[in-house]
Structure 1
């Protein structure tokens, strides 16, 4: 059974699987609990939706820094180098792949 903490307006503000001070039990299928958890999922989904674009920007920044001699590709940890190489191969195989920074 889950436990919830409520604010002064009696809205759920925290959920726990273990009882803690200030928490009350709630049915696992309670609609208010489901709404609270859906709100958390919506917030996580919004940030996750930007992850792919952000990773691409970071890849382009690393490539820019390497091309301008600010850092050496070999300065990156081996695991990062391998991931960059793998993604570059995948990207180059895609027709019409994105180029966010361009060749400026």
Structure 2
């Protein structure tokens, strides 16, 4: 069961699975819930939504891995070699994208990172 957190105008601003005083139980298919989740569409398919959100979710997982490594909770070398190569390639690709986006620091220093060869998803050696 979901519970809606509403603002002073009565619009849903959050959802939780925890029942608390002042929160209203809502169904996941409720029009307001779908609007809040930005999936208010007659042709909505949960499967399609998950497929479309996979890329963003992968980036979140990569960020979690980076945090775990930075906190020394996981060693990069704990991952299989193929996973290490894939993670490094994706990290490089993301850094290229970030260096190409206009940032105040990049504009003032005039520095830009040089692109490198990336590992393709279908590389046979992975």
TM-score, L = length of structure 1: 0.50
Report the structure number with the largest CA radius of gyration.
1
Q: Which is bigger in relative contact order (C-alpha 8 A, separation at least 6)?
A: 1
When you count helix as a share of all residues, which structure comes out higher?
1
TM-score, L = length of structure 2: 0.42
